[in-house]
Structure 1
Amino acid sequence: MHKHVDYGPLTTLIGEWRGDQGVDISPEPDGTEHNPYYETIVFSPACDTDNAEEQCLVAVHYRQTVRRKSNDEVFHDQTGYWIWDAAANKMMQSLAIPRGVCILAGSEPLTETSNSFTVSADISNPAYTIVQSPFMQHKAKTTAYSHTLQVHGDRLQYSQSIMLDIYGRVFEHKDENVLQRVTAPASN
């Protein structure tokens, strides 16, 4: 018998999303670069999990592929999970990018009618933190992360801020986009 999983507020994310209004503001050795981009994000039901027989979490897996409009090349590939803790009514995001960086970010308790999730992590926070390779710690250290998703029907908007210590300065790397759902979630 198939077990029904209640994905709660994560249900609104499930499906494939595409957007072509992205703007990436990133550091360069001699200044700042603005990259218009398009992307696809696929959110899939993952699982429900019991931790130490006390905490029940549900998760959706996601894969994000971002391409520059200027040359159609992939310049960002990210995978991870959005995780909901129903008892605490909090959201988490765990993510990895193939630059040797992993992040676990968490939220404050959600409001009852929340269609917006904001998670954050900081290198000095033992609960929601950032792990990175020795090279990245030395050359392009991520010190803080914040990500907000807003879902309204088949429209998803996000903004992301990553604080970097790079090229001898502190830089706020920003990404934002508006996406439309192109495939509906499969029914359970």
Structure 2
Amino acid sequence: MAEMRGPRRLGPLSWLVGDWEGDVGEDVSYHNKDDETVPTGYFEKASFRPIPIQENGQQAMDGLNYKMTAWRHGEEAMDPFHDEVGYLLWEKTTGQVIRTVVFGRGIALMAGGDVALYDEQFTLRATPGDPNYGILQNKYLSRRAELRRFDCTFTHHADGTFSYEQTLVLKLAATGGVEMDHTDKNTLHLVKRIHPSVEFA
């Protein structure tokens, strides 16, 4: 018997709905104070919630608003070192997933890519100057840590967890303009499911 599947209005974003936590995060980045590139472990909370259908003329998109916050290991009772808010959008007619995100450091970007309805993994990209999938940053960062590219991959695993890996390519003034990768990755597990079996139990 063929597998029966629902319509998945949120397409390849469907499995993200809910609240997630992950304690195996790894941030590899240049630390100005120490003048070296080192890994930092972190704990992270993420929340993804459906939004109303977004219509632009003939265009219609479904999606999620989201928030991701991270604390360095050993600093969970202190202020987070990373905070971001944004949207993940699914345009079924073109097979596009779009991530619009604002980072607390004064960075905003829109990344996108081709994704099929039932894909359990997708990759999105952005580059400065692209009229559709581009990157903006504040004046200080443009001078000191110019963003050259952004890539991110989300993967839904068979055990119900999801992981992401993302890379910001930076041109750093502190290292003489040498480009380097600032990478982040984590695996998160679902802590609150948004589903009738939970809401109306």
TM over 0.5: yes
Query: After the TM superposition, which of the residue ranges 160-169 and 176-185 deviates more from structure 2?
Result: 160-169
Shift of 1:71: 2.4
Instruction: Tell me, in whole angstroms, the C-alpha distance in 2 between the residues paired with 1:128 and 1:31.
Output: 31
Aligned length: 183
Shift of 1:70: 3.0
Query: After the TM superposition, which of the residue ranges 147-156 and 57-66 deviates more from structure 2?
Result: 147-156
- 1:97 and 2:103 correspond: yes
> What letter is aligned with 2:12?
P
SS at 1:62 equivalent: strand
Map 1:40-59 onto structure 2 (within 5 A): 40-51=45-56, 53-59=57-63
Shift of 1:112: 4.7
Map 1:90-129 onto structure 2 (within 5 A): 90-108=96-114, 110-129=115-134
- 1:159 and 2:162 correspond: no
Shift of 1:185: 1.5
Residues 27, 40 of structure 2: 8 Å contact kept: yes
> Among 7, 11, 22, which residue is 2:10 paired with?
7
Instruction: Tell me, in whole angstroms, the C-alpha distance in 1 between the residues paired with 2:72 and 2:192.
Output: 23
Q: Which runs of 4+ in 1 moved over 2 A?
A: 70-73
Structure of higher CA gyration radius: 2
The 1:113–1:58 alpha-carbon spacing in structure 2 relative to 1, beyond 3 Å, is closer
% identical equivalent positions:
28
Residues 36, 70 of structure 1: 8 Å contact kept: no
Q: Who is 1:173 aligned against?
A: 182
Instruction: Tell me, in whole angstroms, the C-alpha distance in 2 between the residues paired with 1:127 and 1:60.
Output: 19
Instruction: Tell me, in whole angstroms, the C-alpha distance in 2 between the residues paired with 1:15 and 1:152.
Output: 16
SS at 2:141 equivalent: helix
What TM-score do you get using the length of structure 1 for normalisation?
A: 0.91
> Among 141, 154, 168, which residue is 1:149 paired with?
154
Structure with the higher fraction of residues in strand conformation: 1
Q: Who is 1:23 aligned against?
A: 26
Structure 2 gaps, min length 5: 1-7
Instruction: Tell me, in whole angstroms, the C-alpha distance in 1 between the residues paired with 2:54 and 2:104.
Output: 26
- 1:81 and 2:87 correspond: yes
> What letter is aligned with 2:155?
Q
SS at 1:127 equivalent: coil
CA RMSD, aligned part only?
Answer: 1.8
Query: What's the CA shift string for 1:90-110, capped at 9, x where partnerless?
Result: 1010000121100000002x2
Residues 61, 81 of structure 1: 8 Å contact kept: yes
